[in-house]
Amino acid sequence: EDQVTQSPEALRLQEGESSSLNCSYTVSGLRGLFWYRQDPGKGPEFLFTLYSAGEEKEKERLKATLTKKESFLHITAPKPEDSATYLCAAGGSQGNLIFGKGTKLSVKP
Amino acid sequence: GAVVSQHPSWVICKSGTSVKIECRSLDFQATTMFWYRQFPKQSLMLMATSNEGSKATYEQGVEKDKFLINHASLTLSTLTVTSAHPEDSSFYICSARDLQGSQYEQFFGPGTRLTVL
């Protein structure tokens, strides 16, 4: 069964304290690994798509990487405005997205 | 680009009534739209895949007669929750796939909060 697991469930950081979020997946015929940011009461906002192991993408303080079994979202020197829930989703062979439960990130000033 | 809207953003209704939620792709055409449901502190659960001009495909455990989906055009899909009950209270989110874009990228709407009293 296709599955996506994110860890940790919640992460509290001080402003400027870098860290990583993990997304492990078991999906047959992976068609991309997607990262989204979701603020409370809003829909997910697209961040990155990664298609092959070894691929990396960056946007401001965020960098996403991909291996054959997992993806990491690295947050460098986070700011309070980075506080949100970060969702990872794997693209299945049917064109669907399989979502993890998310990591709720809180960055304190 | 790639903006998806939903209407209404929130709705409160009485038990037994029906509620319609609209999902529109504003600046692109979408042959496929998806409907998700998200309960508090849970991830997005796919309910159904909506294809323009054909019947929707429902995920296992989702009642097609209760959650009616109509994908009338390349920019509009609607979800009607029929005879709503309190357990249907949730956050409903749609997404759309750009006809011209990647087969696997989806752009999400802002969601609709449904509360059934």
Chain A hits for B112, CB-CB cut-off 8 Å, are: none
Distances (CA, A) of A19 to A13, B2, B30: 8, 30, 37
pLDDT digits (tens, 9 = 90+) for B67-112: 999 988 889 999 999 999 999 999 999 999 887 767 678 899 999 9
Measured CA to CA, the distance from residue B93 to residue B35 in angstroms comes to 6
B111, A43: Cβ pair inside 8 Å? yes
pLDDT for the residue B104: 72
Tokens of A9: 């469930």
Phi, psi of A81 (to 5 degrees): -70, -5
pLDDT, chain B, mean: 91
Query: Closest-CA residue in chain A for B41?
Result: A101
Could you tell me if A91 and A99 are in contact, meaning their C-beta atoms sit under 8 angstroms apart?
no
Q: Tell me the domains of chain A and their CATH numbers.
A: 3-108 (2.60.40.10)
Measured CA to CA, the distance from residue B43 to residue A89 in angstroms comes to 10
Shortest Cα–Cα distance, B82 to chain A (Å) = 23
Question: In tens digits, what is the pLDDT along chain A, a chain of 109 residues?
Answer: 889 999 999 999 999 999 999 999 998 888 899 999 999 989 999 999 999 999 999 999 999 999 999 999 999 999 999 999 999 999 887 778 899 999 999 999 9
Taking a contact as any Cβ pair under 8 Å apart, which residues of chain B between 51 and 80 contact chain A?
none
Measured CA to CA, the distance from residue A63 to residue A76 in angstroms comes to 8
Residue B105, classed as helix, strand or coil, is coil
Return the exposure string of A42-76: e unless at least 16 CB atoms fall within 10 Å of the residue's CB, then b.
bbbeebbbbeeeeeeeeeeebbbbbeeebbbbebe
